[in-house]
Copies of this chain bind each other. A is one copy, B any other.
């Protein structure tokens, strides 16, 4: 997979109780995050802008400027408005109020929390932001052939075609690289994921099964003699 060089996510923790701060910091560092802290609203806002953390853990009760206010301000500033926020609160009852206010936190944790729960929520939220957009289209159409990757669905002229997992993967790889010829070796590597052991004729067999099931739409699958296969658009 094309995993981009992993960097350590940066987290800003805001809480005015030293004890709570320490617990949070310890657990997050343990889980492999880079942690900065702030113990009041003003410092939080300043650090958020300076550090641009990947996530902010914000206690609801703060002296001076309270958590809700900080949250709103963070959301208002374009520099920080995209940063996910997890609200932390001692009172479960507060949660409802906060949720009711819909002021833009992305998740909530109540004290006391288990370290596991905390880390899970953090990870979830970070993942959601990171995974985001991918480059390859998830749905493709060529004439009457439709390929819908998330639904794992292929249809020809509106009629659904049932493909096995391997056939589906083969078709996707070819369609995504349409125009370019793929050697049997390349296909084995990318569809079968690095099984150097299997015969290259295996590709042929799967191409045949794929063509059979696609019927009319098999015309998109082109054999280049002596080289491999390719997907042609017209």
Residues of A within 8 A of B (CB): 2, 49, 52, 73, 76-79, 120, 123-124, 133, 141, 144, 146, 148, 150-153, 155, 158, 160, 164-166, 168, 179-181, 193-194, 224-227, 230
Establish whether residues A144 and B180, one from each chain, have CB atoms under 8 Å apart when the complex forms: no
Quick one: given A180-B151, A181-B152, are A79 and B158 in contact (CB under 8 Å)?
A: yes
Establish whether residues A120 and B194, one from each chain, have CB atoms under 8 Å apart when the complex forms: yes
CB-CB < 8 A to A180: which residues of B?
Answer: 150-151
Residue of B nearest to A120 (CB): B193
CB-CB < 8 A to A77: which residues of B?
Answer: 146, 155, 158
Establish whether residues A141 and B226, one from each chain, have CB atoms under 8 Å apart when the complex forms: no
CA distance A194 to B127 in the complex (A): 12
Question: Is chain A's interface secondary structure helix, strand, loop, or mixed overall?
Answer: loop
Nearest CB on B from A2, distance (A): 6
CB-CB < 8 A to A160: which residues of B?
Answer: 78
CB-CB < 8 A to A155: which residues of B?
Answer: 77-79
CA distance A135 to B132 in the complex (A): 16
Nearest CB on B from A161, distance (A): 10
CB-CB < 8 A to A76: which residues of B?
Answer: 158
Establish whether residues A79 and B146, one from each chain, have CB atoms under 8 Å apart when the complex forms: yes
Nearest CB on B from A200, distance (A): 15
CB-CB < 8 A to A144: which residues of B?
Answer: 49, 79
A–B pairs, 27, beta carbons within 8 Å: A2-B133, A49-B144, A73-B158, A76-B158, A77-B158, A78-B148, A78-B155, A78-B160, A79-B141, A79-B146, A79-B158, A120-B193, A120-B194, A124-B193, A150-B179, A150-B181, A151-B179, A151-B181, A151-B230, A152-B224, A152-B227, A152-B230, A164-B225, A164-B226, A165-B227, A166-B226, A168-B227
